[in-house]
Amino acid sequence: MQISNCVLAIDQGTTSTRAIVFAPDSSIVAVAQQEFAQHYPHDGWVEHDPEDIWTSTVVVCREAVSKAIAKGARIAAIGVTNQRETTVVWDRNTGQTIYNAIVWQDRRTASVCRNLQEKGLFEEVNSRTGLLLDPYFSASKVAWILDNVEGARVKAEAGELAFGTIDSFLIWRLTDGQMHATDVTNASRTNLFNIHDMTWDDKLLEIFNVPKSVLPTVKECADDYGHTNDELLGFSLPILGVAGDQQAASIGQCCFKQGTIKSTYGTGCFVMLNTGEKAFASKNKLLTTVAYTIKGTTHYALEGSIFIAGAAVQWLRDGLGLIRSASETEALAKSVDDDHGVFMVPAFAGLGAPHWAPDARGAIYGLTRGTTNAHFVRAALESVCYQTTDLMHAMAEDGVSIKKIRVDGGMVANNWLCQFLSNILDVTVERPKLMETTALGAAYLAGLQAGIYNSIEELTLLNQVDVEFTSTMDSPSRERLLKGWQSAVQSTLGFQA
């Protein structure tokens, strides 16, 4: 049986790369995934080898395409979604990177951002980008590479180097160097892009000391990003959709209407609220960012970023050896009483919104001789929900009322986590039938550009809810737990080594 008009979605994440082939009805035809190494050369530094990213992309694409073709699929296009802010610089002539990819979690440029803050440049940057002066974003990372790799700045000024977030790097490699481009969502996460003018901003380039010659062309999310090299898959495919992972998840969840909100629980956690065609400025350290540009229409979003979510579970598994797999966490969490008194603040890469404390470090409170592996696991899961609550409170203070939130990402396969999230937020938590919403969003974009779908309204009809979780917790219990969490956060912020 032949399945026409399928789309290959490349989902390049922080710890693994996935390739998924979707049928036009959004069902999964084939999937392949490969993890790759994380590198921590110094305290607060996080890097990836770009060649690991590229190799894993090629491997999973070939595997997924082979599986899909065996099932009768005919692939029409490629969509790309990626870990945002992660920064790569490469030689335009050779295509080789000049340094490892500096990951979004990396904090090495915290002092640079503090210096810019002390110079009174926060308002200038924030008003143009909707972002903060924080090492999370790409601008200070690319400047660091140019300043710390011998000869890099001279080559950049001569137009010999290219900068890109992971989407740009993959597009360059996929098209054999024929296309140096990014989309508006990834550009909006660099601290170099004016989200009101929708262009690279000369003043921001001056502030961060980044030459314009290294920048990619900025395109819409559903657009023409060139064709892949024939040798990659044995035939060429057009790349027709690109979005950063959180915006792609929002698109995959069909958050097209103003007021719709999703929260993705992967390595980190990212809450994104569609604010329509107006860029809404937060007074509570939330980010204003581009949600998407499709067919000439741009929607903006209010976003809260949590650096550590699933990464805390990964740490329990790989760092401490307390669990063998993430799937064990649900049963362990259920085995512990609600009032267990242990709080984990997973500030392994600093604290994100609404605190923005890059120098904060992780801590665990309330330990006794009776504390077990199960307490650690439950505290880790709860910490993700508590951090989400902090974001919701910040949105509430900005005048946003939330009654329902759409969730996705690997962590929400855990029913206990979804129920606790609903309990602590006191809102309805809606989980979709198809959990791969990030890759699906990329596929939707490519499908729109390819003419497989005629409109975003058509995509909304494909969105299906699996389970709704509603709160079963009484207010005093919720308030007591949140008071304990806030005490733990304040103690963490006050700690100095």
End of a domain among 190, 210, 244?
A: 244
Give the confidence band of 120 by pLDDT, cuts at 50, 70, 90. Answer: very high
pLDDT for 233-263, tens place per residue? Answer: 999 999 999 999 999 999 999 999 988 999 9
Query: Is residue 458 a part of any domain in this protein?
Result: no
pLDDT, tens digit, for every residue of 42-99?
A: 988 999 999 999 999 999 999 999 999 999 999 999 999 999 999 999 999 999 999 9
Higher pLDDT, 350 or 165: 165
Residues 355 and 477 reside in one and the same domain: yes
Residue 328 falls within a domain, yes or no?
yes
CATH of the domain at 354: 3.30.420.40
Q: Which two tokens stand for residue 381?
A: 């899961």
Q: Residue 90: inside a domain, yes or no? A: yes
pLDDT in tens, 349-363: 888 888 888 888 999
What pLDDT, on the 0 to 100 scale, is given for residue 228? Answer: 96
Position 358 scores a pLDDT of 80
153 and 282 part of one domain: no
The strand pairing partners of 306, in sequence order, are 269
Residues spanned by the domain of 198: 3-244
Q: Model confidence at 497, in pLDDT bands (50, 70, 90)?
A: low
Structural domain ending residue among the three candidates 189, 217, 244: 244
171 and 150 share one domain: yes
- Percentage of the chain beyond pLDDT 70 is 100
**Mean pLDDT within 184-212:** 97
User: What does the pLDDT average to over 400-415?
Assistant: 89
Query: Does residue 149 sit within a domain?
Result: yes
The domain boundary residue, chosen from 222, 244, 266? 244
Do both 202 and 114 map to the same domain? yes
pLDDT at 435: 84
- Cβ-Cβ contacts under 8 Å for 451 (sequence gap 6 or more): none
Over residues 430-456, mean pLDDT: 94
pLDDT, mean over the chain: 93
**Helix runs in 105-201, H state only:** 110-118, 122-129, 138-148, 152-157, 166-174, 184-187
How many other C-beta atoms can be found within 10 angstroms of the C-beta atom of residue 5?
17
Q: Is the pLDDT of residue 332 over 80?
A: yes
Q: What is the total count of domains within the chain?
A: 2
pLDDT digits (tens, 9 = 90+) for 220-232: 999 999 999 999 9
The confidence band for 160, taking pLDDT boundaries of 50, 70 and 90, is very high
* 155 in any annotated domain: yes
With a CB cutoff of 8 Å and minimum separation 6, the contacts of 319 are none
- The answer to whether residues 228 and 319 belong to one domain is no
Q: The pTM is what?
A: 0.88
Quick check: 366 and 388 in contact, CB under 8 A? no
407-414: average pLDDT? 90
The answer on 119 and 79 residing in a single domain is: yes
Q: What is the pLDDT of residue 466?
A: 86
Do 136 and 273 sit in the same domain of this protein?
no
Mean pLDDT within 360-367: 94
Same domain, yes or no: 258 and 125: no
Residue 7 and residue 32 in one domain: yes
- Tell me if 452 is assigned to some domain: no
Kindly state whether residue 442 falls inside one of the protein's structural domains.
no
DSSP for 206-251 reads HHHT--GGGPPEEE-SBS---B--HHHHSS--BEEEEEEHHHHHHH
Examine the domain organization and report whether 143 and 95 are in the same domain.
yes
Q: Do residues 229 and 259 share a domain?
A: no
Same domain? 279 vs 422: yes
The answer as to whether 451 is a domain residue is no
pLDDT computed for residue 495 by the predictor = 86
Tokens of 294: 């499709």
Q: Is the pLDDT of residue 218 over 70?
A: yes
* 213 compared with 460, residue with greater pLDDT: 213
